[in-house]
Amino acid sequence: MLTKEKAAKVQSYESPYGEDMEMFRRTVRTFFEREVEPRAKEFEANGADYAIWRKAGEYGILGTTIPEEYGGAGADRMAIMVAAEELGYAPSGATVGSFIGTDICTNFLVDHGTEEQKKQWFPCILSGEVVQAMALTEPESGSDATSIRTTAVREGDHYVINGMKHFISNGAKANLIYAIVKTDPPAKGRGMSVIIVPGGTPGLTQRRMITQGYKGGDTGEIYFDNVRVPVTNLVGEENRAMSMFIPTISLDRMQIVARSIGAAQRAFELTLEHCRNRRIFGQRLVEFQNTQFELAKIETEVNVGRAYLDSLVRKMRAGTFTDADSSMAKIWLTELEFRTLDACVQLWGGSGWMDENPISRMFTAARVQRIFAGATELMKSLLGRRYLAEGAL
Ligand SMILES: Cc1cc2nc3c(=O)[nH]c(=O)nc-3n(C[C@H](O)[C@H](O)[C@H](O)COP(=O)(O)OP(=O)(O)OC[C@H]3O[C@@H](n4cnc5c(N)ncnc54)[C@H](O)[C@@H]3O)c2cc1C
């Protein structure tokens, strides 16, 4: 049987992240094993509560990129990828959904927040008292992000925000919302800004959406009805949201693909164990040549995928990582995760399709990875634009 120790060893083998990050990984894994897995059923019924965020704060796994002078660890942004890989590796990650993945918002505040904003929000992010959400997507604007309609109009020392957002991770519970709005609508992509809207602001309403997977997660709608916030809630420069966002979007894609590798690895381990235990036609499932071939294919693909991700982590370290890298990774690794989960479910038979089986929930969770943070087709079209311009490669 593949023990947890063995699995951990396989995962940290020649890690490109470095020893500090591997220590951090162990903390995140312990958090999921001790605090999230045992409560997964409860979360499925009622959604993940605020208490689990505070618990994550106690474990020190939130706001890792916050500089030391503000009480954070000042970790490299790759800590967000390590945490995401563990979110994928934990079967309960498929229940709680994006959850701590919204920590990419923290990095945005680290890069662009004012001193006042940092002092106000960093302590609450670290402790898990606030839940963050990055609210961009709207019903008429998903892949085509610059066509958003939510506006913020300046009135004296305030912005007045009107519009709505949907499909937002932590959308119903978030009490630190980064609303991406139009401050200069005719300027399209060059007229977008990021404005902080704290939970409880009058005119703000939030609703949890029913989703195919992420049963204990929080994918929500956010409505802004004449929401007034001080102009000091603007993050970074007015009208520069899209250019400020580029590194955040890229990091978001990388945390998603790290999650893909974590999930694919765990799916392989769970399936191997199942094939060793399950008996059909008088023998163990693992004794069929077809099973061995399938497992060999899965293991090979996961290892190739990990080697690819490791190479990108090294590029990040060396400062040679590009947006195109994040697009290619998003295509390849999320598709790899889906292929892996599909093949694993097949080896589980009917039980792989039962909701009570973690592999079933991991399969459903794998499906959305190819859609959010830029669908596979959008990634291809972004890559494609480079082929049109001479000298762009
Ligand atoms: C669980 C979940 C969590 C999410 N969390 C957040 C969040 O926290 N914040 C946020 O702002 N948004 C969030 N989203 C929204 C997500 O980013 C969008 O769903 C995604 O960008 C796709 O937009 P859309 O759903 O409007 O699909 P559309 O834009 O309507 O795209 C539909 C399909 O069109 C195809 N397509 C897209 N672009 C192209 C192209 N260039 N060429 C050809 N075909 C193309 C793809 O197949 C795509 O799936 C979340 C979504 C989900 C499901």
Per DSSP, the residues of 18-39 read -HHHHHHHHHHHHHIIIIIGGG
Q: In testing the pocket of ligand 1, which one of 103, 194, 372 has its CB within 8 Å of the most ligand atoms?
A: 372
- 259 and 356 both lie in a single domain: yes
Residue 153 inside a domain? The answer is: yes
Ligand 1 centroid–CA 136 distance in Å is 11
Q: How far apart are CA 194 and CA 135, in angstroms?
A: 9
15: tokens are: 């890690």
Instruction: Tell me the CATH number at 303.
Output: 1.20.140.10
Pairing assessment for the beta strands 234-235 and 279-280 based on DSSP bridges: unpaired
pLDDT at residue 9 in the model: 56
Residue 251 inside a domain? The answer is: yes
Q: How far apart are CA 54 and CA 297, in angstroms?
A: 41
Strand residues in 204-288 grouped as ranges (E) = 204-208, 219-230, 234-235, 279-280, 283-284
Instruction: Tell me the CATH number at 15.
Output: 1.10.540.10
pTM of the model: 0.95
Instruction: Tell me the CATH number at 218.
Output: 2.40.110.10
Dihedral sign from CA coordinates of 126, 48, 222, 258 = positive
CB atoms within 10 A of CB 357: 18
Q: Contact 190/183 with Cβ under 8 angstroms?
A: no
- 147 and 161 both lie in a single domain: yes
Q: Is the CB of 213 under 6 A from ligand 1?
A: no
Q: How far apart are CA 99 and CA 84, in angstroms?
A: 10
- 184 and 231 both lie in a single domain: yes
Residue 85 inside a domain? The answer is: yes
Q: Relative to the CA of 139, which ligand 1 atom is closest?
A: 26
The Cα-based distances of 368 to 45, 130, 309, 316, 365 in angstroms read: 21, 25, 20, 25, 6
Q: Relative to the CA of 97, which ligand 1 atom is closest?
A: 1
Ligand 1 centroid–CA 166 distance in Å is 11
Residue 105 inside a domain? The answer is: yes
Q: Is the CB of 373 under 6 A from ligand 1?
A: yes
Q: Is the CB of 275 under 6 A from ligand 1?
A: no
Residue of the nearest CA to atom 33 in ligand 1? 375
Q: Contact 61/83 with Cβ under 8 angstroms?
A: yes
pLDDT at residue 3 in the model: 60
Cα 74–Cα 77–Cα 78 angle in degrees, nearest 5: 120
- 254 and 324 both lie in a single domain: yes
Among candidates 361, 286, 262, 378, which has minimal Cα distance to 327?
378
Ligand 1 centroid–CA 345 distance in Å is 26
Residue 45 inside a domain? The answer is: yes
Q: How far apart are CA 360 and CA 342, in angstroms?
A: 10
Q: How far apart are CA 60 and CA 269, in angstroms?
A: 28
- 279 and 325 both lie in a single domain: yes
Domain boundary among 130, 165, 191: 130
- 188 and 253 both lie in a single domain: no
Residue type, 196: I
- 258 and 367 both lie in a single domain: yes
Residue type, 333: L
Pairing assessment for the beta strands 176-182 and 132-135 based on DSSP bridges: parallel
Domain boundary among 239, 256, 290: 239
How many independent structural domains does the chain possess?
3
pLDDT at residue 13 in the model: 64
Residue of the nearest CA to atom 14 in ligand 1? 167
Domain boundary among 239, 268, 283: 239
- 229 and 264 both lie in a single domain: no
- 229 and 253 both lie in a single domain: no
Residue 230 inside a domain? The answer is: yes
Q: Which domain holds residue 321?
A: 243-388
- 252 and 363 both lie in a single domain: yes
pLDDT at residue 215 in the model: 92
Q: Is the CB of 178 under 6 A from ligand 1?
A: no
User: What radius of gyration do the chain's Cα atoms show?
Assistant: 21
Residue 318 inside a domain? The answer is: yes
- 378 and 357 both lie in a single domain: yes
Residue 393 inside a domain? The answer is: no
Residue of the nearest CA to atom 6 in ligand 1? 168
Q: What is residue 126's three-state secondary structure?
A: helix
For every one of its 393 residues, what pLDDT tens digit does the chain have, with 9 covering 90 and above? 456 666 555 555 678 999 999 999 999 999 999 999 999 999 988 888 999 999 999 999 999 999 999 999 999 999 999 999 999 999 999 999 998 888 999 999 999 999 999 999 999 999 999 999 999 999 999 999 999 999 999 999 999 999 999 999 999 999 999 999 999 999 999 999 999 999 999 999 999 999 999 999 999 999 999 999 999 999 999 999 999 999 999 999 999 999 999 999 999 999 999 999 999 999 999 999 999 999 999 999 999 999 999 999 999 999 999 999 999 999 999 999 999 999 999 999 999 999 999 999 999 999 999 999 999 999 999 999 999 987 777
Q: How far apart are CA 40 and CA 32, in angstroms?
A: 10
Q: How far apart are CA 331 and CA 380, in angstroms?
A: 8
- 254 and 371 both lie in a single domain: yes
Q: How far is CA 158 from the centre of its chain?
A: 32
**Residue 305 buriedness (CB in 10 A; 0-12 / 13-18 / 19+):** buried
Ligand 1 centroid–CA 172 distance in Å is 19
